């Protein structure tokens, strides 16, 4: 069967529309008119014999057929781009668009202060940081990678790279300790108000445990507050709502200033990992490698790790 250049053009337009979120923005990316993008999608729909998008005046969504086609062709388009980059030497050049699904807390606390220098060092790069609590479908949503705290899902097909670890501190505000007393041992927490954190993987609260060398101590806790946002947990803890387990990456300064009190420094070995998750298994483009180096260096620059 002869090569169909129009089919390749059509799936390229499809990919651009999905990643841009609209025909107009896709046209800007492709240096085309919006009507040209619309005609390209119409030709592709005629070629495959199925509607690819459900369109309203306010929203644009892939149909089931469109999603299946996009999920099949997107990796192939990536391979074509990678091959072209390799032929031109671009695998070693940081350039193009980099779209990252990033943990909101990590983005605000760690990355934000380093972005100006990173972009100045890489003037040919356009960086899109999308702060989200959910990973979602990286390929379907056009992400090059995601950055997340916690162990990746065990059944995930994503490539994982561990970037760093941060200690877990058990803390409370001085006002809370004055009102309720300071627990002398982790097991004393069963009689305290503990602020639970929502685990997006299990849908339940994270279980509390303490580590000292090889010793692991699970602890049953109770409390009336469950949160899914680190900033809310820290704010509630500072206000005296209860005891919380927090990442040293975000709380060490509060402990150093006496705003929060670390309760069990003799149990120092509970740690929480930071991972990068990537949809591809080949050699990462230079722009991805540069961003991973940024994440690692920025995390190390924080003395709380």
DSSP string, 142-203: T-SEEEEESPPPTT--SEEEEEEEEEEEEEE-HHHHHHH---SSGGGGGGSEEEEEB-TTTS
**Containing structural domain, residue 12:** 5-88
pLDDT band for position 78 (cuts 50, 70, 90): low
Is the same domain home to 77 and 139?
A: no
Please give the structure tokens belonging to residue 118. Answer: 């990173």
Is the same domain home to 172 and 246?
A: yes
Whether 170 contacts 263, CB under 8 Å: yes
**CA-closest candidate to residue 161, choices 7, 248, 284:** 284
Each residue's pLDDT tens digit, 14-24: 888 887 778 88
Is the same domain home to 222 and 80?
A: no
Who has greater pLDDT, 111 or 137?
111
Who has greater pLDDT, 110 or 118?
118
Is the same domain home to 187 and 265?
A: yes
Strand partners, 261: 172
Is the same domain home to 263 and 290?
A: no
86: left (phi over 0), alpha (psi -120 to 50) or beta: alpha
pLDDT band for position 155 (cuts 50, 70, 90): low
pTM score of the predicted model? 0.67
Is the same domain home to 104 and 250?
A: no
Is the same domain home to 266 and 175?
A: yes
CATH number of the domain at 227, please: 3.40.190.290
Eight-class DSSP state of 122:
-
pLDDT at position 61 is 83
Give CA–CA dist 136/287, Å, rounded: 22
């Amino acid at each position: 069967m002869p090569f169909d250049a129009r089919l390749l053009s059509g799936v390229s337009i499809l990919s651009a529309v999905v990643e841009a979120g609209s025909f107009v923005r896709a046209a800007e990316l492709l240096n085309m008119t919006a009507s040209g993008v619309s005609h390209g999608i119409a030709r592709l729909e005629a070629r495959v014999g199925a509607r690819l998008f459900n369109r309203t005046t306010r929203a644009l969504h892939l149909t089931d057929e469109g999603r299946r086609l996009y999920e099949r062709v997107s990796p192939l388009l990536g391979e074509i781009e990678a091959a072209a980059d390799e032929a031109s030497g671009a695998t070693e050049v940081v350039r193009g668009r980099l779209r990252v699904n990033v943990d909101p807390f990590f983005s605000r606390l760690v990355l934000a202060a380093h972005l100006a220098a990173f972009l100045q060092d890489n003037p040919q790069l356009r960086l899109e940081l999308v702060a989200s609590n959910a990973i979602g479908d990286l390929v379907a949503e056009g992400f090059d990678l995601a950055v997340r705290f916690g162990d990746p899902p065990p059944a995930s097909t994503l490539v994982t790279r561990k970037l760093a670890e941060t200690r877990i501190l058990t803390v409370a505000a001085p006002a809370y300790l004055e009102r309720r007393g300071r627990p002398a041992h982790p097991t004393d927490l069963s009689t305290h108000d503990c602020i639970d954190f929502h685990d997006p993987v299990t849908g339940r609260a994270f279980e509390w445990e303490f580590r000292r060398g090889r010793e692991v101590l699970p602890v049953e806790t109770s409390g009336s507050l469950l949160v899914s946002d680190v900033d809310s947990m820290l704010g509630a803890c500072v206000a005296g709502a209860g005891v919380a387990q927090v990442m040293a990456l975000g709380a060490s300064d509060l402990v150093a200033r006496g705003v929060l009190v670390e309760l069990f420094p003799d149990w120092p070995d509970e740690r929480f990992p930071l991972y990068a998750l990537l949809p591809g298994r080949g050699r990462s483009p230079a722009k991805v490698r540069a961003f991973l180096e940024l994440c690692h260096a920025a995390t190390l620059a924080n003395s709380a790790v």
